[in-house]
């Protein structure tokens, strides 16, 4: 997200912590912890056709072009410096990252040489589809877009860059892609490629909401900007140990919320150090249908459609959280990084401000489980993800808006990083978003009966075709006890492709993998 720099205070060096790990920024790929700068991003899925030729091209030509975390950080300094001397145009920088499926690693390393890694990574995204509630055929195979031959995929190249000139927006990325494919020659076959691009309303996903507002803070990377809490980056952004997202560093202690380092994530192979798992999901968004739903359901419930949307997400389109702005949008809060994340859910024990099932409460319940499960917030912090997605597809066209029906595919190329796909992405999707009982242990005003919060109305899926619902779309704020249920007759998001990848360190690329 572009943070308006005028809103950020100078970082106070006295707020650093000697225990913070030193990240090997020359080893870690740039998209993992910081995120590559991107107007456009080509996701290029490939099969290795000639192993020796691929290894030699990788060693000779590709590795030196891989954008490291150090390079992304230096670019950010450049961008800030350019802004300070009045250059507000965006710097035009390209990036390249690379990852491999488990099958791809075995092709490079030999059968059995990538055993013992995360079980979800080994079995792959297609095997997970049914359990995640993705659309599948009678045999449990995912119904993904034609051409996305997932069995064939050995790796992915992430190519990022600026827009070209008007009418030629994709020229730069297409040229970069051709250059990289030339270097790889016949050693790879392209299985599928597709370009994601930021929307004209920069930073907003297709439903219209500001995205990328809340990300985990990372010790050793994120500057402390909350003098009132040295364990936070921006106010409300808890600092986590980097081992949650990249191998070779301490992770969270499941017994202690943030302060003490926990064990390093298990690394069955030394070459996994400074690498990370990447989850890719191509999620179609049915945008006209979503807005039509907000209108008709808003009318039925006597609720402003914008408020209904905000209660489903947990934030207004501006990014302002309903925990802070429960009834009306407050765009000044939405754009202010010092305020737009500065909240917890525990104090909202009756979902007066934010429905228990709202997308951001389901996917990161913050302190909601304190006193509900034994390790409360500490447990929550072991299921975080670092997101780095980008929208794809055109803006909604007139005919679609008129007919309130999607006629051209669009959505989110969802990407997230973690050190355990099982415990992080899949856990969030299955055990939280899809689980009608989560958030646990909650009640309504004047009642001790437990509430069933329902599905995350944005991404929650069912595995048995049962109806989706969300509890309490109507706000009982500041008082009241009206019961309401939101029926979600159709999904607004449809998974149409997915893949699980390992993003190795530069050293691993230079040695065992090439």
Which spans of this chain sit near ligand HEM (rule: CB under 6 A)? 205, 207, 209, 211-214, 281, 283, 285, 313, 315, 359-360, 363-364, 385, 411-412, 414, 425, 428-429, 433, 458-459, 493
* Position of minimal CB gap to ligand HEM: 214
Q: Whole-angstrom distance between the N-terminal and C-terminal Cα of the chain?
A: 34
- Give me the least distance between CB of 178 and ligand HEM, in Å please: 30
Beta carbon nearer to ligand HEM, 212 or 230: 212
Q: What residue has token string 């249908």?
A: 289
Task: Please state whether beta strands 411-418 and 386-387 pair in parallel, antiparallel, or not at all (unpaired).
Answer: antiparallel
Beta carbon nearer to ligand HEM, 103 or 282: 282
d(CA 475, CA 346): 17
Q: Which of 243, 283, 232, 278 is nearest to 433 (CA)?
A: 283
Q: Are 70 and 79 in contact (CB under 8 A)?
A: no
Beta carbon nearer to ligand HEM, 240 or 509: 240
> CB within 8 A of 338, min separation 6: which ones?
7, 8, 9, 225, 234, 235
Q: Catalytic positions, please?
A: 211
Under DSSP, is residue 471 helix (H, G, I), strand (E, B) or coil?
Answer: strand
Q: Are 274 and 21 in contact (CB under 8 A)?
A: no
- Give me the least distance between CB of 227 and ligand HEM, in Å please: 22
- Give me the least distance between CB of 236 and ligand HEM, in Å please: 9
**CA separation (Å) from 73 to 21, 30, 259?**
17, 9, 25
What does residue 187 show for φ and ψ, rounded to 5 degrees? -70, -20
Q: Are 300 and 197 in contact (CB under 8 A)?
A: no
DSSP string, 321-342: BTTTSSSS--HHHHT-TTTTT-
Beta carbon nearer to ligand HEM, 42 or 285: 285
- Give me the least distance between CB of 245 and ligand HEM, in Å please: 13
- Give me the least distance between CB of 428 and ligand HEM, in Å please: 4
Beta carbon nearer to ligand HEM, 496 or 505: 496
């Amino acid at each position: 997200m572009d943070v308006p720099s005028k809103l950020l205070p100078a970082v106070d060096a006295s707020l650093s912590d000697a225990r913070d790990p030193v990240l090997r920024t020359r080893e870690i790929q740039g998209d993992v912890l910081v995120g590559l700068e991107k107007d456009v991003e080509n996701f290029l899925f490939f099969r290795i056709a000639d192993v020796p030729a691929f290894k030699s091209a990788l060693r000779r030509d590709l590795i030196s072009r891989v954008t490291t975390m150090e390079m992304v950080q230096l670019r950010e300094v450049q961008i800030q410096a350019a802004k300070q001397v009045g250059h507000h145009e965006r710097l035009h920088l390209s990036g390249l990252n690379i990852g491999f499926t488990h099958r791809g690693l075995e092709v490079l390393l030999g059968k059995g040489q990538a055993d013992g890694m995360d079980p979800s990574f080994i079995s792959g995204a297609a095997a997970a589809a049914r359990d995640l509630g993705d659309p599948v055929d009678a045999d449990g195979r995912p119904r993904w877009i034609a051409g996305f031959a997932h069995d064939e995929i050995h790796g992915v190249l992430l190519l990022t860059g600026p827009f070209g000139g008007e009418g030629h927006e994709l020229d730069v990325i297409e040229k970069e892609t051709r250059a990289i494919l030339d270097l790889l020659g016949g050693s790879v076959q392209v299985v599928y490629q597709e370009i994601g691009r930021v929307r004209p309303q920069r930073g907003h996903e297709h439903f219209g909401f500001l995205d990328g507002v809340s990300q985990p803070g990372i010790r050793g990377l994120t500057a402390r900007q909350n003098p009132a809490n040295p364990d936070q980056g921006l106010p409300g952004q808890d600092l986590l140990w980097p081992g949650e997202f990249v191998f070779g560093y301490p992770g969270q202690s499941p017994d202690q919320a943030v302060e003490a380092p926990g064990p390093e994530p298990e690394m069955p192979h030394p070459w996994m150090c400074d690498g990370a798992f990447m989850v890719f999901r191509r999620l179609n968004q049915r945008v006209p249908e979503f807005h039509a739903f907000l209108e008709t359901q808003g009318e039925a419930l006597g609720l402003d459609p914008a408020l209904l949307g905000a209660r489903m997400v947990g934030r207004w389109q501006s990014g302002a959280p309903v925990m802070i702005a429960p009834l009306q949008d407050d765009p000044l809060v939405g754009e202010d990084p010092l305020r737009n994340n500065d909240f917890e859910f525990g104090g909202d024990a009756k979902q007066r401000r934010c429905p228990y099932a709202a997308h951001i409460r389901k996917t990161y319940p913050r302190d909601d489980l304190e006193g509900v499960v034994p390790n409360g917030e500490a447990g929550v912090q072991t299921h975080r993800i670092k997101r780095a997605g980008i929208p794809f597809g055109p803006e909604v066209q007139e005919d679609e808006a008129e007919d309130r029906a999607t006629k051209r595919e669009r959505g989110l190329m969802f990407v997230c990083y973690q050190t355990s796909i099982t415990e992080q992405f899949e856990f969030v999707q299955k055990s939280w978003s899809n689980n009608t009982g989560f958030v646990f242990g909650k009640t309504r005003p004047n009642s001790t009966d437990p509430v069933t919060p329902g599905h995350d109305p944005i991404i929650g899926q069912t595995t048995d075709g049962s109806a989706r619902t969300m509890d309490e779309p109507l706000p009982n704020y500041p008082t009241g006890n009206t019961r309401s249920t939101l029926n979600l007759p159709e999904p607004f998001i449809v998974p149409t492709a997915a893949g699980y990848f390992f993003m190795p360190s530069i050293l691993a690329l230079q040695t065992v993998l090439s």
